[in-house]
Structure 1
């Protein structure tokens, strides 16, 4: 009962702020714009873009932009659900209301999962709602009548939900708001993309690269922009979708466990 009350309190706290829906709107616009740009450019001029697009590949690629570039939003929100309380010194009040810190952490993880799923729906609204009409306008198959496409949509929402939990775990491990956001942006926008492109052309990096967080998320979804680089370089095959999901869960558990054993146990002032 205490756990359910803690989850309810976390969700009410989230809904009482503007941050969650502002980020959702930004995710919708950012993902939607990118989906339109990718769908149009690779449909009209794939040769000029240096890409060879197999039949039936473009629609999943466009739709998977929801996670391919949108996963940073649930990660940031999940981290801020922890770091904002540390920054504004409200975490002490939370611990007074629920003295068991493990319950508080679990409740925040559940809330991160729920909000991550919401971001998944918002990102899908952008990638599918704007990307599919673009594909139809240029004469490409939208594949919206294919059951595999709808299964991918479900995995996209699941992946974004798991990313929300990973964000919570990162916030516990790096309680500094500036430190956690800089780390997330640097890793997701520069470090991992660089490693994944290199992994497509270097065999030993390919084996390691598919266990990177973003690669695991893409494997869970079943499509990504990076798969074109893998195809061009003859890179290592990605994980199975269920393996990708387990790797994401593993990152969340590992980061959360380290944070719970260190920073989460410190005295709150």
Structure 2
């Protein structure tokens, strides 16, 4: 099978099952509802319209748009990570990868095709996530008299970097799935690391002198640095916990890209060549 045919085949595989739109729908509802709730609360607290908010720590109005819009990546990056993992592990689990390798013996070509399709999925999920976080947030901010900053080039640049973050997370997921192979282990491991281990480590950073120089290279921290805004880091500063050192946006992107490349290369060298049946 030609390379173009392999890419078309991979694209058909991803959109012929229900997993892609189910995850997209959950992403839309999860990020959208969270953005709406936080936008109402933060805007009301910042403008003094929230009863009982006197003396409570609040985010300044000028930082609200970027923090709320970035919820798509700060909270939703696990979705592209999962879709990338499922792109590989689902085929291994159901043995559909066997006929693929029979039709395309060059396994590196198959993995490359998955990367290309994964880039498209990352862009798709990125658009869905951005719409889910930006739409409700901008609407509620405007209703409460807070500038949405949608006319600022910095906000649009941030949204562009969010798309890049989604793409990179899909590629990392493909690397994890191709390297680990076992679907349950890969998914549970990714969830435990991204939703528990890394957040705990990043929370404890201010308590350990010099640890921030290392923690800033963790995937979630690098993703926040790439985007340039995050509810997590803003809440930490606002709560008086201090802020850990952060990479420049381009350095954060390079960390994620480097991680994706390393995982994909390791998978190609040590796992992708193994039998699947």
TM-score (norm 1): 0.94
How far 1:201 moved relative to its partner? Answer: 4.1
State yes or no: 1:241 paired with 2:249: yes
Root-mean-square deviation (Å): 1.7
CA contact (8 A) 2:43 2:61 kept: no
Select the residue among 181, 198, 205 that pairs with 2:211.
205
How far 1:230 moved relative to its partner? Answer: 4.8
Equivalences for 1:215-226 in 2 at 5 Å?
Answer: 215-226=221-232
**Cα-to-partner distance string for 1:135-182 (whole Å, 9 max, x where unaligned):** 112221111111111111111111101111111001011111111111
Equivalences for 1:17-166 in 2 at 5 Å?
Answer: 17-45=17-45, 51-166=57-172
**Cα-to-partner distance string for 1:10-68 (whole Å, 9 max, x where unaligned):** 11211211211111111011001111122122222365795342342111000000101
Q: Which runs of 5+ in 2 are unaligned?
A: 47-52
How far 1:234 moved relative to its partner? Answer: 3.1
Greater Cα offset, 133-142 or 38-47: 38-47
TM-score (norm 2): 0.92
Equivalenced residue count is 269
**Which is greater in Rg?**
2
* Aligned mates of 1:188, 1:152 — CA distance in 2: 22
**Cα-to-partner distance string for 1:98-148 (whole Å, 9 max, x where unaligned):** 111111111111211210111110011110111111111222111111111
Q: Which runs of 5+ in 1 are unaligned?
A: none
Q: SS at the partner of 2:230?
A: coil
Q: SS at the partner of 1:172?
A: helix
- The 4+ residue runs of structure 1 with deviation greater than 4 A are 46-50
**CA spacing shift, 1:89–1:35, aligned 2, 3 Å:** same
State yes or no: 1:268 paired with 2:276: yes
* Aligned mates of 1:156, 1:19 — CA distance in 2: 22
CA contact (8 A) 2:45 2:58 kept: no
